[in-house]
Structure 1
Amino acid sequence: MDLSPPATATIAGAIILVLIVAIVVLGATGAFAQPVAEEIGDGIVRFHASAAAREADVSSVAMHPFPGRGATAPADFPVRVRFQRIGGRAAARIDTEPGTSLYGQGEVPPPLLRNGTRTTAWNFDAFGWGANSENLYQSHPWILAVRADGTAYGVLFDTTYRLRMDLSRKIVAVADGPEFPVVVIDRDSPQDVLRAMADLTGHPFLPPRWAMGYHQCRYSYDPDARVREIADEFRRRDIPCTVIWMDIDYMDGFRSFTFDPVDFPDPRGLNDYLHERGFRAVWMIDPGIMRDPGYDVFDSGTDHNVWVRQKDGAPYVGNVWPGPCVFPDFTNAAVRDWWGDQYREFMDIGVDGVWNDMNEPAVFNTNTKTMPLTNRHDADADLGGPGTHDRYHNIYGMQMARGTWDGIRKLRPEKRPFVLTRANHLGGHRWAATWTGDNRATWWHLHASVASVLNLGLSGQPLAGPDIGGFSGPASPELFARWMGLGALLPFARGHTEKGQHDKEPWSFGKDVEQTCRRALKRRSRLVPHFYTLAHEAATAGLPIARPVFFADPADPALRDVEDAFLLGDGLLVLPRTGMKSETPDVRLPGTWRRIHLAVDDDADPDLPELRLRGGAILPLGPPEDFVRDDPAAEIELLVSLDDEGNASGLLYEDAGDGWAYQDGEYRITRYEAISREGTVHLTATVVDGAWAPADRPVRVRLFTETGEHIAVGRSASLPPVTP
């Protein structure tokens, strides 16, 4: 498949690139009128190119809710934005201090450290993307800058138009649209920047607990008997799996919201079969609706006037999987309401989650791989009002996910929606998780998994992961085993592959790889309490689930470019081997980090990442289970690693696993503390937040020291002491 952009776009991009380089090297040649800077929050300044640009700025897609006018910004605010024009286009520039490291930009290829890179925020069907892909499926016009001393600031270029970001020597952004505001958040640490970013752009959704388990998918499990076979194999082989996904072939002629009458004649029965065995079911929905009179979704959409229109007013028609298709205008609230109601039968037959794919929007048989930029959207006023597709292309997938999430919540109000989207924009984390798109089964893509997920987390999207094993191309047994070991420890863990490839289930590569996958997924199962605690922290504080190691010491320059290791929370270090012949990364963080294991012999498997627990941390684990249950763990294991003062602590968040009662205080956050006194380690458990009473359940304590592992068993109402 030819992934190159059209020649005209390539030439235009090259011209802009040359002009950007000239500006970076020689300085600005065309400044705007006097810029305006207003403080819209503590340490948050919004810069406008001019007073006129400020008056025109009345809406924001990324910021929620839209902040009103602010007071004049302090004269000593440490970051300054310069506005100019490059190639006739609106541009903004920030000069960076020596030693400043740049991150973010959402879904981008490696490296993690973005200094010296050029990226375009323009959602694109980037099948088989690689190191030189300038834009992928999502657009995050956001930079996280970490100064040499560890203080940090975040930069939001508040535009939905195509945006080129050049970080070769400083921060330069050039938009295809009008003048755009630039919002800067200045804080003492990168963590504090992300907390403020969540307050500004909206906090991520809290997923149902089952979403923390392992997900199995392929393009496609077809017919329904194959789905049942896959489910039964997981249970028969004692390999944990919580979710099975249905790709596009379940549909009748690729028509969204339909089921093939031959291969999937009883979708309710299939969902029931999966539920009885502890699985959840996620089904795909695409935005392209087949232009087929008599197809009820097409007829209803036509009656409700929901389609994106050409500049002449006629509904736009583009080819996708079903053939000629029309496309809902998700930028309009009434259309999103109509769209949400289309899920009624889905919810009625027991669908647990929805996968929105192809929503850049992808269109076949066009040079641009999308619809014409002159198409018209009847957008809501708070999105910017009616306009052309060049303005709303980047938020099409975001607004589709929004309509899906809102519709599911309306139709099934007792449950939390779970939506996965391929295309998104900064702020879309409020409604959907994501994955890193159609990767390839290569060692480079395995290595890329870490940096891609970390930069998404540093851009406000905490729930992300790659297609484990690689979507495109064959995987070797060693590559698949290594990828499962890593992928099982990323926030969103899903195996997936395309048609025409060999099977990529955990048992598809022989007994040795199957055993590695079993160990990896039992690790995942045991870590579900920790992942769910981190998901709650993401939803309340805006911190990512997977974190770069420089979070342990933002001022240490040696940690700034580490992209083959990461933290889960602030206390668990993951050290994967991401190259064919690579060794475990030698990452040196401040303090003590003790090697741990989660199950018998898992730390002896060379294809599983090494795990280290920070001195001063307590890690709560659940039991190894075949699937994730809604209820809190019936028993808890506490892994304890004392700091130099003989202390340790850790948190565990628990609620009903689904539903909304947690918003009314129906949850429990337990703080576990350990202190060493006279050669014995004493532990306590205190509920520090939530209306739930303390738990009383079996507890196993494992204390890791330089002399080995020490175990005590008791109950959580009175935690047992441990004597090393």
Structure 2
Amino acid sequence: MITNTELEQKGNQFPNSVKNIRQEVDTLYFTTENNVILELTVLRDSVVRFRYGTRGILEEDFSYAIDPDNHIGYNHLELSENKNFHIVTTAKLIIKIEKISLQTKILDTEGNLINEDELGFHYEESFTLGGNIVKMSKRSHPGEAFYGLGDKPVHLNLRGRRFSNWATDSYAFGKETDPIYKSVPFYIGLKDKRAYGIFFDNTFKSTFDFCQERLDVTSFWAPGGEMNYYFIYGPEMSEVVQNYTHLTGKPELPPLWTLGFQQCKWSYYPESTVKGIAKKFRDLKIPCDGIYLDIDYMEGFRCFTWNKEYFPDPKRMVKELLNDGFKTIVIIDPGIKIDPDYWVYKEALENGYFCKRADGPDMIGKVWPGECAFPDYTNPEVREWWAGLFKELVGEIGVRGVWNDMNEPAVMEVPGKTFPDDVRHDFDGHPCSHRKAHNVYGTQMARATYEGVKKYVYPKRPLVITRSAYSGAQRFTSSWTGDNVATWEHLWIANNQVQRMCLSGMSFTGTDIGGFAEQPTGELFARWIQLGVFHPFCRVHSSGHHGDQEPWSFDDEVTDIARKFIELRYTFLPYLYTMFYEYATEGIPMLKPLVYFDQEDPHTHYRTDEFIFGNNILVCPIIEPNSKGRRMYLARGRWYNFWTEEYLEGGRELWVDADIDSIPMFVQEGAIIPRYPVQQYVGELSIEELKLDVYYAEDTIDSQVYEDANDGYDYKKGRYSLRNFKLRGKATDLTIQQHKGGNFETEYDTIKLHLIGLPFRIKKIKVDNVAYDLNNLDKEDKFLKLPEDFSVVQIIG
């Protein structure tokens, strides 16, 4: 056992005895003899912030991650003490702070230990860097599991591993590469079936060690900034993720078309190529809503310009594509070409908007256009200017979405592939070096882009996509997982990354389907499409340097499989939109790893492949070549095979057949899944009826379906439709009640029930207490047509 004295000799310093305590409403300040301050704030009964200052100083409190609209409020807060501890009690937690060391133990109200400090807060004064290296170590327990941290391309359970958070341009990253594009310093611990979360809100390069160095210790540290972390108690993992998402912010609803299929490549040009791609989608009847233009649409890679040779009349082209249902999305990078004749460069130069080196000159680095300067998006004035630059692109030409790339920030031909540490940033009036601003640079760029797109696409809703992100980025932007590779290993990585991003508050995420670097086989592309249609953001993207990667680029069999699964996604659009509504209002992740779905079942703690799509559909992708099926774990409960409607008991491993044109999918009993007809793009057809797949259960189960005008902001004025269904199944009857909220009139007036798994023969049906003519029942498929505003239907055997 290392003693504190030995550690102190190594340069570590520790808080000693508490000499003073004061309380200001929800915040308690504990000051020690050696002038360490612990500021403890109760935000909710289960969310507590721990912030430590040394030399008696707390820095000015500022965070890009915390949502300013985060609603806080707790039911109970009391301070007491005994011989050894100061005790803070809320309605859900008991926090014991050791009088001689500030070390903390956190218990639930029954006295179960949830989390405790090992050495707790300690620090090292760094005279070379200035400021402190701040450290926190926590005791870990046998069997404790760890999840989260954003886009890490590793096994879902992080135990036994160490990671850093430093946004990095990681072209063709691999299964263990760390760090990569995103910095999400938030993790979930699961101990004795109780979940808690820790969010270390520090933008410096933070490191997390999950029992790698020492088997019973989890620690995190950063070479600057404050030890400032939020402790979030469940005990359900769902409560941890929801509370973290409330804290760092929820997105607004995107337009429905952004949940459709998107096609991208580096690069589609000239106009005739773009038009040809669009025509082929429509000719082959493969649904698609978005076409992306990569850097070659610009004039010499200058942002906010068009190459007039390739695109002589972008406004006309964008309109013609839109007439055929294709929304145009363009790329915008942060690097602004140094060119005195280029208006964007001139404006930024004149106003001093570029990031500067410590000695004064603008930061210069090479990116696609050659030598570039880089706007300081941490300056609110620069963000406002940047937002204004979208006036022509979005407001006049009619582009519907923007993707921000290279915003780690990525710089070529330098060792760290990014800015040097001495670059200066405004940080919203808290001037700092790049060491502090690096991890938020991409998010602040996406935020400025979002403000611009939102302003000029109005009254429609914006779409922004980013490669680099810090906690809270989900308020402004969706994301993708960066430059992956066309390999089977990367299909495994893709599945893990999107599940992990969903646990980390960033559900609106997808991967480059098929792989960005290199070329997939037809089989790999087919299996990737099958997974990708279940990811919230669904886009094919490739570097195009090894061949094409459109759905028809392989052979007829692969084309047919791609069409089948893209069509399947379009039928699930009301289900996806409802998932997004729950994410945007409640912070519920759109995909749920099995451990989130059922943390009580120890079998789920190490499962990576299977996940829950929305609330009721279990998907298990095929991630190995030449497979005719696979072994998988079916979570506890009862399920129907989506393809065969076979009824199965869960909580076990089983073999599932899944030839090249199939993916294992199971629907939970009692689920009501809304479906639309196949459309070639969102809004192509008027929806004449809503189909509900009703999976019988001998139980009582709630479901909901959210709809609105699919774009625009009328839904904020109450013009939405939220159908709440209650299914009650008994041995010889099934009742479904509907209660509708909101005042949006859906265009259909019929709901078609598709009854699956009824254990009895239907003898009579009553709709709102009126007998239903059984001759109107489709005997084969058990389709039942009802008015959309029915209140209750009883199906009696």
Taking structure 2 as the reference length, the TM-score comes to: 0.83
The aligned residue for residue 674 of structure 1 is 727
- Correspondent of 2:553 among 508, 516, 520: 508
- Percent sequence identity is 33
3-state SS of paired residue (2:151): coil
3-state SS of paired residue (2:227): coil
- Correspondent of 2:299 among 249, 252, 261: 252
Cα offset, 1:410, TM superposition: 2.3
- Correspondent of 1:47 among 41, 50, 63: 50
Cα offset, 1:165, TM superposition: 1.0
Q: Distance in 2 between matches of 1:90 and 1:534?
A: 39
Q: CA offsets per residue over residues 146-186 of structure 1, 9 Å max, x none?
A: 2232x211101110000111112432112121332111011
- Relative to 1, partners in 2 of residues 1:279 and 1:116: Cα closer, same or farther, differing over 3 Å? same
Q: Determine whether 1:317 maps to 2:364.
A: yes
3-state SS of paired residue (1:123): coil
CA contact (8 A) 2:52 2:226 kept: yes
Q: CA offsets per residue over residues 512-559 of structure 1, 9 Å max, x none?
A: 000100111011101111111111111111111111112331111101
Counterpart amino acid of residue 141 in structure 1: P
Q: Distance in 2 between matches of 1:142 and 1:433?
A: 18
Give structure 1 stretches of 5+ with no counterpart: 1-18
Q: Distance in 1 between matches of 2:674 and 2:247?
A: 31
Cα offset, 1:679, TM superposition: 3.4
The aligned residue for residue 11 of structure 1 is none
- Relative to 1, partners in 2 of residues 1:240 and 1:310: Cα closer, same or farther, differing over 3 Å? same
Cα offset, 1:674, TM superposition: 3.1
* 1:337-356 superposed matches below 5 A: 337-347=384-394, 348-356=396-404
Q: Distance in 1 between matches of 2:528 and 2:708?
A: 31
Cα offset, 1:286, TM superposition: 0.6
Q: Distance in 1 between matches of 2:124 and 2:677?
A: 58
**How many residues are matched?**
693
CA contact (8 A) 2:289 2:325 kept: yes
The aligned residue for residue 742 of structure 2 is 690
Cα offset, 1:466, TM superposition: 0.8
- Relative to 1, partners in 2 of residues 1:178 and 1:607: Cα closer, same or farther, differing over 3 Å? same
Q: Distance in 2 between matches of 1:198 and 1:300?
A: 37
Q: CA offsets per residue over residues 193-224 of structure 1, 9 Å max, x none?
A: 11211221111232111111010000001111
CA contact (8 A) 1:60 1:66 kept: no
The aligned residue for residue 328 of structure 1 is 375
- Correspondent of 1:545 among 580, 586, 590: 590
Q: Determine whether 1:374 maps to 2:422.
A: yes
CA contact (8 A) 2:721 2:743 kept: yes
- Relative to 1, partners in 2 of residues 1:53 and 1:613: Cα closer, same or farther, differing over 3 Å? farther
- Relative to 1, partners in 2 of residues 1:63 and 1:52: Cα closer, same or farther, differing over 3 Å? farther
Cα offset, 1:488, TM superposition: 1.0
Q: Distance in 1 between matches of 2:57 and 2:503?
A: 28
The aligned residue for residue 31 of structure 1 is 14
Counterpart amino acid of residue 498 in structure 2: V
Q: Distance in 1 between matches of 2:789 and 2:734?
A: 17
The aligned residue for residue 406 of structure 1 is 451
- Relative to 1, partners in 2 of residues 1:680 and 1:343: Cα closer, same or farther, differing over 3 Å? same
The aligned residue for residue 133 of structure 1 is 177
Cα offset, 1:266, TM superposition: 1.2
Q: CA offsets per residue over residues 638-660 of structure 1, 9 Å max, x none?
A: 11112233x44421101111112
The aligned residue for residue 415 of structure 1 is 460
- Correspondent of 1:297 among 323, 341, 344: 344
- Relative to 1, partners in 2 of residues 1:53 and 1:643: Cα closer, same or farther, differing over 3 Å? farther
Q: Distance in 1 between matches of 2:380 and 2:520?
A: 44
Q: Determine whether 1:147 maps to 2:162.
A: no
The aligned residue for residue 243 of structure 2 is 196
Q: Determine whether 1:438 maps to 2:457.
A: no
- Relative to 1, partners in 2 of residues 1:605 and 1:700: Cα closer, same or farther, differing over 3 Å? farther
Counterpart amino acid of residue 700 in structure 1: K
Q: CA offsets per residue over residues 432-470 of structure 1, 9 Å max, x none?
A: 000110000000000111110011111110100110000
- Relative to 1, partners in 2 of residues 1:493 and 1:412: Cα closer, same or farther, differing over 3 Å? closer
- Relative to 1, partners in 2 of residues 1:133 and 1:156: Cα closer, same or farther, differing over 3 Å? same
Cα offset, 1:673, TM superposition: 3.1
Cα offset, 1:403, TM superposition: 0.4
Cα offset, 1:93, TM superposition: 1.5
Q: Determine whether 1:590 maps to 2:636.
A: yes
3-state SS of paired residue (2:58): helix
Q: Determine whether 1:701 maps to 2:753.
A: yes
Q: Distance in 2 between matches of 1:205 and 1:217?
A: 24
Taking structure 1 as the reference length, the TM-score comes to: 0.91
3-state SS of paired residue (1:437): coil
Q: Determine whether 1:90 maps to 2:134.
A: yes
Q: Distance in 1 between matches of 2:458 and 2:41?
A: 40
Q: Determine whether 1:654 maps to 2:692.
A: no
Counterpart amino acid of residue 666 in structure 2: R
Larger Rg: 2
Cα offset, 1:681, TM superposition: 3.2
Greater share of residues in strand? 2
Q: Distance in 2 between matches of 1:101 and 1:663?
A: 40
Q: Distance in 2 between matches of 1:55 and 1:166?
A: 26
Cα offset, 1:412, TM superposition: 3.3
Cα offset, 1:717, TM superposition: 3.4
Cα offset, 1:631, TM superposition: 9.0
Cα offset, 1:241, TM superposition: 0.7
The aligned residue for residue 312 of structure 2 is 265
* 1:601-612 superposed matches below 5 A: 606-612=660-666
CA contact (8 A) 1:640 1:648 kept: no
Q: CA offsets per residue over residues 10-34 of structure 1, 9 Å max, x none?
A: xxxxxxxxx9xxx99xx99642455
The aligned residue for residue 714 of structure 1 is 785
Q: Determine whether 1:465 maps to 2:497.
A: no
Cα offset, 1:707, TM superposition: 7.1
Cα offset, 1:625, TM superposition: 0.9
CA contact (8 A) 2:687 2:748 kept: no
Counterpart amino acid of residue 683 in structure 1: I
Q: Distance in 1 between matches of 2:303 and 2:170?
A: 22
The aligned residue for residue 15 of structure 1 is none
The aligned residue for residue 234 of structure 1 is 281
Cα offset, 1:699, TM superposition: 2.8
Greater share of residues in helix? 1
CA contact (8 A) 2:325 2:684 kept: no
Q: After alignment, is 633-642 or 281-290 more displaced?
A: 633-642
Q: Distance in 2 between matches of 1:541 and 1:631?
A: 30
The aligned residue for residue 287 of structure 1 is 334
- Relative to 1, partners in 2 of residues 1:202 and 1:676: Cα closer, same or farther, differing over 3 Å? closer
Cα offset, 1:569, TM superposition: 1.8
CA contact (8 A) 1:204 1:460 kept: no
Q: Distance in 2 between matches of 1:175 and 1:377?
A: 19
Q: Distance in 2 between matches of 1:677 and 1:455?
A: 38
Q: Distance in 2 between matches of 1:40 and 1:310?
A: 39
* 1:617-636 superposed matches below 5 A: 617-629=671-683, 633-636=687-690
3-state SS of paired residue (1:181): strand
3-state SS of paired residue (1:434): strand
CA contact (8 A) 1:316 1:327 kept: yes
- Relative to 1, partners in 2 of residues 1:616 and 1:354: Cα closer, same or farther, differing over 3 Å? same
3-state SS of paired residue (1:38): strand
CA contact (8 A) 2:640 2:666 kept: yes
- Relative to 1, partners in 2 of residues 1:403 and 1:29: Cα closer, same or farther, differing over 3 Å? closer
Q: Distance in 1 between matches of 2:368 and 2:660?
A: 42
CA contact (8 A) 2:690 2:748 kept: no
* 1:470-489 superposed matches below 5 A: 470-489=515-534
